[in-house]
Structure 1
Amino acid sequence: MMLQADEVSLLAALGGVLREAGARAVRPSHVQAKAHQDWVTDVDLAVDAFLAEALGRLLPGVPVLSEERAAQEEGPCEAWWVVDPIDGTGNLIAGLPLFGISVALVDAEGPRLAAVLGLPGGGLHAARRGAAPGGTDSPCACPERPRTLVGLSTGLIE
């Protein structure tokens, strides 16, 4: 595979890129509907542009596929970045503190490494294939018995 960078170092660098991108995640001044209950803001576009440039510097020649724009590349790729510049745009628009920035490096075997920056607050969660989240080699602990009640709501009301 063309990706020769040390994955631990690459994951650390990706964390830095996400923190820089997070500084651009401010209250939006322009909102546009993409589809029913699906929006894009000036913040989505600014973070997307920053990520495209920064990830291009991090791994030159690896295309960046984003939720906010059409793919520019044609033909097969050995690896590519998959980006959601603002994951939770509806919450950002509503002023709710539940959104983030999601980035993954994907190859033919699936996700190779990924990171999510929770905003506001900047909690960074990262993982790489074959290692526990955070880039360590220790296994993740899962509860023996899952919780019996889980509630999830998008909060979308028309």
Structure 2
Amino acid sequence: MAVEAAQAAGALLAAGTRGAVGIRAKGDAGDVVTDLDLASEKLLVERILTAFPTHAIVAEEAGLIGTAGGEWTWLVDPLDGTNNVAIGLPTYVVGVALCQGGRPMLGVVHDPVTAQTWSAIRGRGAVASTGARLAPPYTASPHGPLLAWTQGYAVTRDDATVLALKAALELGARRVLQLWAPLLSWAMLARGDIDGIVGYRAEAVDLPAGALLAQEAGIEIRALDGGPFEESIDGSAEDRSFVAAHPRALPGLLSLLPG
């Protein structure tokens, strides 16, 4: 159901981006929301509640639907990459995750542009829509790793930790991508297209689907200090700061970070 719902939402987005997109401001940090976000979210929420009427949902735009604290909670990012769509950049995905007791058990990322879908179930691995299993090999580059960066909307431009992290990564990495679509970065990492991701206070609604996809593909995730990464959706924004890479690449990536 989750894969089919994400693909249906993706078809809606792909059709909608071919015409005029209604855009308006969202919050005070310069973010935006489009009519496509709302339409995609409505489709996903309706499909989930039809199949699982007793489950709670946390959606990007609507927030909590149902009762918090239950056993099963869905996380819905109907259009990850809204700011890209707003400027006509075809870089966006749909993300859906199902958590049990706050822990992600299922994750789906669908790319409407390439019509590709990647999904994972805890303990069963990660697969592409072709049926191929995701298991990126370890590859070391003499010029440094190719990384992606993500941060939460509430993080300010003058955040001292962000400035230090970005400066260190720019010095030590071959390239640092800022895609404005974190779930796409996770899919790229799970496929082996990039070497790692560094995140700072990432958004709770899109982190679980991407993180589970990467973990089930063999990627390891740690806190910024190298300690364990708490994957529960019930944690604070600080708990959603991380480094993610192939286990053999992770020590080198951690060494790039400021102490």
2:21 paired with 1:29: yes
1:15 to 3, 27, 37: 3
- The two structures have a TM-score, normalised by structure 1, of 0.79
Partner of 2:137: 142
2:176 paired with 1:151: yes
How far residue 67 of structure 1 moved from its aligned partner, in angstroms, is 1.0
Of 141-150 and 26-35, deviating more is 141-150
Aligned-residue Cα RMSD (Å) equals 2.3
Contact 2:94 2:111 in 1 (8 A): yes
Q: Tell me: CA distance 1:38–1:80, structure 2 relative to 1, closer, same or farther (3 Å).
A: same
- In 2, the alpha carbon distance for the partners of 1:34 and 1:120 equals 24
Please identify runs of 4+ aligned residues in structure 1 that moved more than 6 A. Answer: none
Q: Secondary structure at the match of 1:23?
A: helix
The superposition leaves residues 15-47 of structure 1 with CA deviations (integer Å, 9 ceiling, x where unpaired) of 111111112111253111112231111000000
1:127 to 72, 97, 120: 120
Of 33-42 and 144-153, deviating more is 144-153
More helix by share: 2
Aligned length: 142
How far residue 139 of structure 1 moved from its aligned partner, in angstroms, is 7.5
2:41 paired with 1:48: yes
How far residue 140 of structure 1 moved from its aligned partner, in angstroms, is 2.4
Contact 1:97 1:119 in 2 (8 A): no
- In 2, the alpha carbon distance for the partners of 1:116 and 1:139 equals 13
- In 1, the alpha carbon distance for the partners of 2:41 and 2:135 equals 31
How far residue 59 of structure 1 moved from its aligned partner, in angstroms, is 2.2
Contact 1:99 1:118 in 2 (8 A): yes
- In 1, the alpha carbon distance for the partners of 2:107 and 2:5 equals 12
Of 50-59 and 29-38, deviating more is 29-38
The answer for unaligned runs of 5 or more in structure 1 is: 1-12
Of 139-148 and 58-67, deviating more is 139-148
- In 1, the alpha carbon distance for the partners of 2:113 and 2:136 equals 26
The answer for unaligned runs of 5 or more in structure 2 is: 146-173, 181-259
The superposition leaves residues 69-115 of structure 1 with CA deviations (integer Å, 9 ceiling, x where unpaired) of 13133342101100110000011111111101000001126110010
2:99 paired with 1:74: no
Q: Tell me: CA distance 1:151–1:59, structure 2 relative to 1, closer, same or farther (3 Å).
A: same
How far residue 151 of structure 1 moved from its aligned partner, in angstroms, is 2.1
Query: What amino acid maps onto 1:145 in structure 2?
Result: A
2:114 paired with 1:117: no
